[in-house]
Amino acid sequence: AVPVLEVRDLERHFPASGGTVRAVDGVSLTIGRGEVLGLVGESGSGKSTVGRCVVRLDEPTGGSVALKGTDITHLSRRALRPLRTDMHLVFQDPSSSLDPRMTIGQIVAEPLRLHRLVPRSGLRARVEELLGQVGLRPEHADRHPHELSGGQRQRISLARALSVGPDLLIADEPTSALDVSVQASVLNLLADLQRDRGFGCLFITHDLAAVEFLADRIAVMYLGRIVEEAPTARLFAEPLHPYTQALLSAAPVPDPALQRTRERIVLSGDLPSPLAPPPGCHFHTRCPVAVDRCRTESPALRELPGGRRVACHLAHPDSRLSGEGPSPAH
């Protein structure tokens, strides 16, 4: 089957004072129909830029993006327009994407009108139906964005996304601007909608609990590159890349008894600037197990059995790091 999204060797380099920022530096990923790929990494890792390049809010400077088999990397705005019903981006902060002068009804109706998906006479009914699907009431159609809570505004963004019936939803930190108390309900809504509608999803987040809940597979980014990718359960059970191991070791787990089984790995130093990524393995300046060759030789992202990929000279599927010897039997 043709994947809903196929990204090949994506680059987004741009000039800055002092050199070139390599925000995205050779990212390849694939999302099948109805599949959720979680893209995780620290802020500054380039994960949002990948999402923005996919919908062409940022222009890629290299590589390709194919939507349902169509290469859209160099399509003009005009040629891209009909494809706007195939993919939709939901932002972190819904307030920035909702026009404060419009009513909720107008906001939700906008994509329906733009793409002529519903006759004018049927707009109101369709809007109310969409509001219902995101847990809001018909009366909400007559309010303005500022009259709603952050969680309700993010539900409006989801209603807009649903209105076009996309095959691909790109959700960039959709809950991280919300109060912790409403994050779970919006995440649950997203999960329900994804399951019912079966759209593919690129779920961009730094929230490991959220990504474990929602994603079928996870790709981990560090300084513009994917360093590891694996099915969700495998990644959490057996992270192979030292960076992934550190990320997961720092994540709070619901059961404190489990926390003790995983030693906390504290990374030294800050995330280096994408303006001057370290030579060799980008991670070597912070990697607790780096060896000499890591400073000069960039590790390729290797395919491993079980649908895994990892970019580390020392990682092997049967022993987490070759330097450690065999991993304990489970």
- The residues binding Mg ion (CB under 5 A) are 48
Residue 204 is a binding residue for ligand SF4 (CB under 6 A): no
Q: Are 222 and 281 in contact (CB under 8 A)?
A: no
Site string for ligand SF4, 223-252 (x = CB under 6 A): ------------------xx----------
Report helix, strand or coil for 124. helix
Residue 290 is a binding residue for ligand SF4 (CB under 6 A): yes
Q: Which of 170, 178, 212 is nearest to 194 (CA)?
A: 170
Spell out the residues 6+ positions from residue 257 whose beta carbon is closer than 8 angstroms to its own. none
Q: Which stretch binds ligand SF4 (CB under 6 A): 77-85, 199-207, 258-266, 288-296?
A: 288-296
State the alpha helices, DSSP H only, in 27-173: 47-54, 77-80, 104-114, 123-133, 150-163
* Residue 183 contact partner, candidates ligand SF4, Mg ion, none, CB within 5 to 8 A by sort of partner: none
Residue 277 is a binding residue for ligand SF4 (CB under 6 A): no
For strand 225-231 and strand 217-222, is the pairing parallel, antiparallel, or unpaired?
A: antiparallel
**Nearer Cβ to ligand SF4, position 92 or 244?**
244
Q: List the beta bridge partners of residue 171.
A: 90, 203
Cα-based distances in Å from 299 to 92, 226, 295, 310 = 32, 11, 10, 9
Query: Burial of 198 by CB count in 10 Å (0-12 exposed, 13-18 middle, 19+ buried)?
Result: exposed
Q: Which stretch binds ligand SF4 (CB under 6 A): 63-71, 87-95, 125-133, 287-295?
A: 287-295
Return the residue of 52, 88, 160, 313 that touches ligand SF4, per CB under 6 A. 313
Residue 309 is a binding residue for ligand SF4 (CB under 6 A): no
* CB neighbourhood size of 162 (10 A): 21
Per DSSP, 321 falls in state B
Return the residue of 299, 308, 309, 320 that touches ligand SF4, per CB under 6 A. 299
**Angle formed at CA 232 by CA 253 and CA 67, multiple of 5 degrees:** 135
Tokens linked to 84: 């706007």
Residue 314 is a binding residue for ligand SF4 (CB under 6 A): yes
Q: Which of 28, 1, 5, 2 is nearest to 302 (CA)?
A: 28
Q: How many chain residues touch ligand SF4 (CB under 6 A)? A: 13
Return the residue of 289, 308, 309, 320 that touches ligand SF4, per CB under 6 A. 289
Residue 222 is a binding residue for ligand SF4 (CB under 6 A): no
Residue 21 is a binding residue for ligand SF4 (CB under 6 A): no
* Residue 48 contact partner, candidates Mg ion, ligand SF4, none, CB within 5 to 8 A by sort of partner: Mg ion
Residue 111 is a binding residue for ligand SF4 (CB under 6 A): no
Return the residue of 89, 189, 240, 281 that touches ligand SF4, per CB under 6 A. 281
* Residue 89 contact partner, candidates ligand SF4, Mg ion, none, CB within 5 to 8 A by sort of partner: none
Binding site for ligand SF4 (CB under 6 A): 241-242, 281, 283-284, 287, 289-290, 294, 299, 312-314
